[in-house]
Amino acid sequence: MAGTLAEKVWDAHVVRRGTDGVPDLLYIDLHLVHEVTSPQAFEGLRLAGRPVRRPDLTLATEDHNTPTLDIDRPIADTTSRTQIETLRRNAAEFGVRIHSLGDADQGIVHQVGPQLGLTQPGLTVVCGDSHTSTHGAFGALAFGIGTSEVEHVLATQTLPLAPFKTMAITVDGELPSGATSKDIILAIIAKIGTGGGQGYVLEYRGEAIRALSMEARMTVCNMSIEAGARAGMIAPDQTTFDYLKGRPHAPEGADWDAAVEYWKTLRSDDDAQFDVEVVLEASDLEPFVTWGTNPGQGLPLSGSVPVPEEIADANERVAAERAIEYMGLTPGQPLREIKVDTVFIGSCTNGRIEDLRSVAKLVQGKHKADEVRVLVVPASARVRLQAEAEGLDKIFLDFGAEWRNAGCSMCLGMNPDQLAPGERSASTSNRNFEGRQGKGGRTHLVSPLVAAATAIRGTLSSVADLGPDVVAPDGSPLTDLQTV
């Protein structure tokens, strides 16, 4: 029978088929753990006298709470320190591999899995973190879970799951210069809404998706949750295999050949039926930016802050009024005129080496706008090392940016990297909720290129705003940044 990619991966993991409304029991191939959503799960195991069933399918890292400065000193915030020490104790007690702060493999959990080659096509991947959808870029069925489910997976390596519906999102054509994978996903969320994906696994397909690098695909899948979806997936192809080949945990020799043979079957059949199909034309896309307080409140940068009176739906109108007030904006104000205080480049959405390269290419030889602070936070310690090996750190420092250690950082402000009340950011992260980056902070979600252009000009800007003849300092056209 014809099946979608998601259905194929699902069917390959059914331990026990549910009947009469009882959900299927699914096997979990890879369980990623971090300090924030795991302490109560380990405590539950301890109280019930249960072991971790498969420590060899489990990996822990520290990311949400970790400081991005002075990482060789004791963590100043005592509650953060306690939480991290609790994870270290739990990992030791239950035999779970952990990459702690200061370790070269520490970093945001959604970067650590892929860079170690643990995230592979056709796996089921879970983590107590909604951005687990990132791993779907490899053709894995990957989704975020709550702490009770973390405990469930630790104890049983399975999860009872009600079936998902499937949605195909086809992005045809070619992205114009200056637009990126971030703009694709922001445009998708604006189109289907923050609840549009509820109950669905999204599959991204089409020419524009195929053209994306592995890291750019991760950016798209990462924000599936911002459309309300449990997961987002992209069928694996040569780009995927090339990324994985030679990574520490990638299969080797005959195992590699067997794996690739299987991975090549992981695509939706031509006659597979999706519950919903959505089509976007990539050439219509422009750099996107959010103006409001949910990720669906976004517009092309050439637009203006909406006028609530012109919004027909009553709930949306009220939400827009609230958002405009919270964001300190004026209806009708051109988005390009919005001044920012801080530019944050990082997170599991856009903190990878290609993101940092594209920013560096744009800011090389320039200096940031005086009144703007710029934070560059690599997604993992390995990304930081790679950037330093390429000299990107020098470019950022010369530009006037801060070059930090790895972690979630200002994406959610659990560590000291926060916005002050009223402070406005252009952020390459994934959520613009009220107070997300610090109480009273105001967030505009943008791509790394828009973040870089904004850091140069001080107002929300695209690459095109830097002038008609903008080229990278090495003379290469900036059009090749578009796959980022």
Partner 1 sequence: MEKFTQHTGVGVPLRRSNVDTDQIIPAVYLKRVTRTGFEDALFAAWRGDPTFVLNQEAYSAGSVLVAGPDFGTGSSREHAVWALKDYGFKVVISARFADIFRGNSGKQGLLAAQASQEDIELIWKILETRPGTEVTVDLEARTITCDDVVVPFQVDDYTRWRLLEGLDDIGLTLQHADEISQFEETREPWRPRTLPAKHLPPVEIQAARPVHVEIQTSR
Alpha helices in 203-331 (DSSP H): 207-210, 214-222, 238-244, 253-263, 314-327
- Span from 48-56, 177-185, 211-219, 354-362 in contact with partner 1 (CB under 8 A): 48-56
**How many CB atoms neighbour CB 393 within 10 A?**
19
Vertex 445: Cα angle to 440 and 451 (nearest 5) = 110
- Span from 3-11, 31-39, 167-175, 473-481 in contact with partner 1 (CB under 8 A): 31-39
Q: Is 127 annotated as a binding residue?
A: no
Q: Strand, helix or coil at 459?
A: strand
Cβ distance 32 to 113 under 8 Å?
A: yes
What beta strand segments (E) does 384-466 contain? 402-403, 424-427, 442-445
- Span from 172-180, 278-286, 303-311, 339-347 in contact with partner 1 (CB under 8 A): 339-347
DSSP strand pairing (141-144 vs 124-127): parallel
Distance of CA 100 to CAs 97, 227, 368, 414, Å? 10, 32, 33, 17
One residue of 11, 56, 325, 480 binding partner 1 per CB under 8 A: 56
Cβ distance 462 to 450 under 8 Å?
A: yes
**Subset of residues 451 to 480 that bind partner 1, contact rule: CB under 8 A:** none
**Subset of residues 72 to 101 that bind partner 1, contact rule: CB under 8 A:** 72-73, 77, 79-80, 82-83, 86, 97
Residue number with CB closer to partner 1 (154 or 208): 154
What the block records as the tokens of 335 is: 């988005």
- Span from 214-222, 265-273, 301-309, 382-390 in contact with partner 1 (CB under 8 A): 382-390
Number of residues lying near partner 1 (CB under 8 A)? 116
Q: Is 155 in the site for partner 1 (CB under 8 A)?
A: yes
One residue of 279, 339, 471, 473 binding partner 1 per CB under 8 A: 339
One residue of 271, 371, 469, 474 binding partner 1 per CB under 8 A: 371
Q: Is 221 annotated as a binding residue?
A: no
Instruction: For the CB of residue 98, give the shortest distance to partner 1 in the complex, in Å.
Output: 10
Closest CA to 428 of 287, 329, 246: 287
What the block records as the tokens of 303 is: 């637009």
Q: Is 413 in the site for partner 1 (CB under 8 A)?
A: yes
Instruction: For the CB of residue 328, give the shortest distance to partner 1 in the complex, in Å.
Output: 7
Instruction: For the CB of residue 8, give the shortest distance to partner 1 in the complex, in Å.
Output: 15
Binding site residues for [4Fe-4S] cluster, as ranges?
348, 408, 411
